[in-house]
Structure 1
Amino acid sequence: MLYWAVVCLIVAIIAGVLGFGGIAGTAAGFAKVLFFIFLILLVISLVANAMKGRGPKL
C-alpha cells in the first residue's frame, strides 16, 4: 500500500510540473489517503504484536 502512495505522489509531482493542476490535486489527495491508511494499519499491527508479547523479528 505504501508503494501505491508513493506512485500517486510521483504522478502528482509530474502532473504539477507539467501544469495539469486537477490531475495533480487528485493524485496528491489519493496518495495522502493511502499513506494514512498505511500508517493506521502499521500502528494496529504494532499494537497487536505488542499485545501478544512478541517483539519485532530482527
Structure 2
Amino acid sequence: MTTAVPAQRTVLQRFPAGHPRGSRPADEYAAAQRDQGIAARVVMDLPSDQFLVVADTSTQ
C-alpha cells in the first residue's frame, strides 16, 4: 500500500488581498524568487484574506 505524504510548504511572504494592485505585489515577489532559483508561487489563503508566496520544501 502506498500513501501520499502531504506537500510541505514554506511561506516566504504575505500580501493583503485588499491591496489596490491586487495580487500583483505577490506575483512580482514570486517572480523575483524564481529568478533566484526558488520555485515560488502565489496562493490565496481565504481564512486570512492574504496572498501567500510559498515554496515547496522537500521532506526527503
TM-score (norm 2): 0.35
> Which protein shows a greater Rg?
1
Q: Which protein has the bigger helix share?
A: 1
Q: Which has the higher contact order (CA 8 A, sep 6+)?
A: 2
Bigger share in strand: 2
TM-score, normalization by structure 1? 0.36
